Amino acid sequence: MKEIIHALAKQHHEYVINLRRYFHSYPELSFQEYNTQQKIMNELSASGLSPIPLAGTGVMADIHGCQPGKTVAIRADIDALPLQDELDKPFVSKCPTVCHACGHDGHTAALLGIAKILNTIKDDLCGTVRLLFQPAEEKIPGGALTMIEQGSLNDVDVIIGAHLWQPLPIGSVGIVSGAMMAAGDRFEITVTGHGGHGSMPHQTIDPLLTAANLVVGLNQIVSRNVDPLESAVLSIGAFHAGNAFNIIPGSAVLQGTVRTFSQVTRTAIFDQIEKITAGICSAAGATYTLTKELGYPPLINDPHVAAVLSTTARQYLGDQAALPIKPVTVSEDFAYYLEKIPGAFIFIGAGNQAQGIIYPHHHERFDIDELSLRYAMEILALAAVKLSVPS
């Protein structure tokens, strides 16, 4: 099966490259992927499948194998970013300030290639492979939740997905067993005091000083309240207060982000933010409002499924290809699927220094080595075949 999928991936590589370049030329923002959706529907229909629209601008299609087995979902995200494309290639974005600068054009194209591969081998395929083209990964609340609400995981036993990953060189993959990507949350604290003359601070309640104490206090949460063997980040990136040298302002605003790799740590940090804010403001006589905006949860891979993906990647790319990577502090709404059913997410190397493919994700000159599209097809298709075999 490995060789059959390899041959089919080679056969469809050019088709997938052309699709990737098409999607790159016509990127669409989160929740607005109308043309992308139509193109996906057309391609799947032309490949002999019966796609249905889902979650607004998403698509779902099942490939039924002729042998009994499990149902395996493969997910690709399809949206682009609000950024001017500066790629010096003929397929540069034709849409001003919209750009596939994260590689989701490649995810979409590769999954359309996988559709062709698995549909060709369905006589030998066990169970069902469900293709999920998900809108809006880039914009909270993300498209995954709606995909799940509308039944994309009904009867699905396991789910896999991949991100083409520029920091990893072409021909390598990165995967972590367990927590791989962080929850990405933000908070805002408004401290309200009592303003007045800078020369008479005793007549005021100084929200600026109170907020400064909060910056110090909140920065101690990770060092004092988080298990030293766990990872977490709390960063305050904005502090706004006052606009004159001799006026104590009436209020101050802090904004920050929290990144965690487990729900326990995530909850503990936010509990502590509340306690410290209440305590410091109370001591100063100030009042406060704290708002939390929870982003995507931590992405936690199932060890068994992660092992299947890792083994499959090594079958195609060699034993040295699976790089031991650390978890990353960016977040990804694939995490929502993994809260519901077992599955795993893998990074597929797409960087290539020699070809000048050196710009990071979300950079205006971001690009991928298109050989990664073939590897993505091979790894995900063969892993799906393996995972669909009844146990």
Nearer to Ni ion (CB atom), residue 102 or residue 209: 102
With respect to Ni ion, which residue has the nearer C-beta, 165 or 187? 165
319 is catalytic: no
Distance between CA 81 and CA 50 in Å, rounded?
A: 29
Give the SS3 label for residue 316: helix
Q: Which of 79, 157, 185, 206 is catalytic?
A: 79
In this chain, which stretch among 5-13, 63-71, 97-105, 116-124 interacts with Ni ion, using CB under 5 A?
Answer: 97-105
Does residue 61 touch Ni ion according to CB under 5 A? no
Question: Does 55 sit near Ni ion (CB under 5 A)?
Answer: no
Smallest gap from residue 361 Cβ to Ni ion (A): 6
Point out which span in 24-32, 100-108, 233-241, 289-297 binds Ni ion (CB under 5 A).
Answer: 100-108
How much of the chain is helix, strand and coil, in % rounded to 5?
Answer: 35, 30, 35
Amino acid at 356: G
Out of 5, 83, 102, 164, which residue is the one contacting Ni ion (CB under 5 A)? 102
Question: What is the distance between the alpha carbons of residues 191 and 210, in angstroms, rounded to a whole number?
Answer: 8
Is residue 9 within the footprint of Ni ion (CB under 5 A)?
Answer: no
Residue in 137, 157, 302, 332 annotated catalytic: 137
Tokens of 335: 């995490």
* Nearest-approach distance from CB 238 to Ni ion, in angstroms: 25
Shortest reach from residue 362's CB to Ni ion, in Å: 8
Q: Are 138 and 334 in contact (CB under 8 A)?
A: no
The tokens for 205 are: 């309640």
> Which lies closer to Ni ion via its Cβ, residue 102 or residue 180?
102
CB 273 within 8 A of CB 352: no
- List all residues 6 or more positions away from 212 whose beta carbon is below 8 Å from its beta carbon: none
In this complex, which beta carbon is closest to Ni ion, that of residue 184 or of residue 193?
184
Q: Mark the segment that binds Ni ion (CB under 5 A) among 94-102, 192-200, 208-216, 218-226.
A: 94-102
Answer yes or no whether residue 317 interacts with Ni ion by CB under 5 A.
no
Helices (H), the chain: 2-25, 34-46, 104-120, 144-149, 207-218, 221-225, 263-284, 303-317, 334-340, 371-387
Q: Which is nearer to Ni ion, 102 or 182 (CB)?
A: 102
Instruction: Please tell me the count of residues contacting Ni ion according to CB under 5 A.
Output: 1
User: Is 124 considered catalytic here?
Assistant: no
The verdict on 80 binding Ni ion (CB under 5 A) reads no
Q: Give me the sheet containing 251-260, strands edge to edge.
A: 232-241, 251-260, 183-192, 287-293
Residues with catalytic function:
79, 137
What residues make contact with Ni ion under the rule CB under 5 A?
Answer: 102
